């Protein structure tokens, strides 16, 4: 594959190569057409990243390994749910890969920064995905908006974000957290029963954690 310094590096990872990287990590095969969508998503991300700094990872294959594969693993790990909120979606991880891989899920991506929200809308339009963008703070979302699952990845103040995310979950809904190897203070959050904990593909010490809301209480 081309190096980051090669001209046209934004197109360096083809759909076939993405499928190979997915298989190499032991993940399930992507749905038909998904690899092509991921390749288009990568090109769009690299184009916008030059101006918005959507991700500190700049090289094409590194983006696939660091962001796409983790998000694909999350999509494939999710149980059967109808609705999902991606809290603090940023460049669209894991919300856009979930929308690509799990068309059975209605994905809402929460992003309060206007320019990033604009990128997300353009990505949805380009990839023809049936998802939506909420361009405000999750705390300001209507109290009637409740979801079957809430994902959190690379958000500021994870403990606080988990507490807010829990208020957006229906009873029995899933809170899905991408956890680093550092000491965690959010996994003792009341009102949640952690049921799944597995290593994140390609990440040193990263863990994908999934817990269920055990009561109708918001905390």
Residue pair 149/84 in contact by the 8 Å Cβ criterion? yes
| pLDDT digits 0-9 by tens, 118-131 | 999 999 999 999 99
- List, in sequence order, every residue forming a beta bridge with 107; answer none if it has no partner: 84
Average pLDDT over residues 132-136: 95
Q: Is the pLDDT of residue 1 over 50?
A: no
Which distant-in-sequence residues (6+ apart) come within 8 Å of 202 by Cβ? Answer: 25, 65, 66, 69, 70
Task: Indicate the pLDDT class of residue 205, thresholds 50, 70 and 90.
Answer: confident
List Cα–Cα distances, 113 to 54, 133, 214, in angstroms. 11, 11, 32
| CB within 8 Å of 1: residues ≥ 6 apart | 12, 13, 17, 60, 61
Q: Say if residue 48's pLDDT is above 80.
A: yes
Omega within 30 of 0 (cis) for the link into 24: no
Judged by average pLDDT, the poorest of 37-41, 49-53, 59-63, 93-97 is 49-53
Instruction: State the average pLDDT over residues 62-91.
Output: 96
With a cut of 80, say whether residue 61 has pLDDT above it. Answer: yes
Q: What is the DSSP letter of 163?
A: H
Confidence at residue 219, expressed as pLDDT on a 0 to 100 scale: 41
Flag whether pLDDT at 70 surpasses 70: yes
In the chain, which ranges are E strands? 83-87, 106-110, 132-134, 147-152, 169-179, 192-199, 207-213
Give pLDDT, residue 185: 66
- Selected from 3.10.580.10, 2.60.40.10, 3.40.50.150, 1.20.1510.10, the CATH number assigned to the domain covering 9-213 reads 3.40.50.150
Do 37 and 17 contact (CB within 8 A), yes or no? no
pLDDT category at 143 given cuts 50, 70, 90 is confident
Would you kindly state where each structural domain of the chain is located, as residue ranges? 9-213
Question: Using 50, 70 and 90 to split pLDDT, how confident is the model at 190?
Answer: confident
**Predicted local distance difference test score (pLDDT) of residue 196:** 92
Asked if the model's pLDDT at residue 3 lies above 80, the reply is no
As a whole number, the mean pLDDT across the chain is: 88
Residues 124-127: contacts with CB within 8 Å, 24+ apart?
A: 124/96, 124/99, 126/40, 126/41, 126/44, 127/37, 127/40, 127/41, 127/96, 127/99, 127/100
């Amino acid at each position: 594959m081309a190096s980051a310094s090669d001209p046209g590096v934004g197109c360096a990872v083809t759909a076939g190569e993405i499928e190979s990287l997915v298989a190499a990590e032991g993940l399930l095969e992507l749905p038909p057409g998904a690899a092509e969508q991921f390749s288009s998503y990568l090109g769009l991300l690299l184009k916008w990243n030059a101006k918005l700094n959507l991700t500190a990872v700049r090289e094409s294959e590194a983006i696939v390994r660091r962001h796409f594969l983790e998000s694909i693993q999350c999509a494939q790990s999710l149980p059967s749910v109808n609705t999902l909120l991606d809290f603090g979606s940023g460049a669209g991880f894991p919300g856009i890969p979930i929308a690509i891989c799990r068309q059975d899920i209605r994905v809402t991506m929460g992003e309060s920064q206007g320019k990033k929200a604009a990128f997300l809308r353009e990505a949805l339009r380009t990839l023809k995905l049936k998802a939506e963008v909420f361009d405000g703070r999750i705390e300001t979302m209507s109290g009637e908006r409740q979801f079957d699952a809430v994902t959190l990845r690379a958000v500021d103040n994870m403990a606080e974000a988990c507490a807010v995310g829990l208020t957006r979950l229906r009873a029995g809904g899933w809170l899905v957290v991408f956890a680093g190897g550092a000491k965690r203070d959010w996994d003792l959050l009341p009102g949640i029963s952690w049921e799944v904990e597995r290593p994140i593909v390609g990440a040193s010490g990263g863990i994908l954690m999934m817990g269920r809301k055990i009561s109708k209480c918001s905390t």
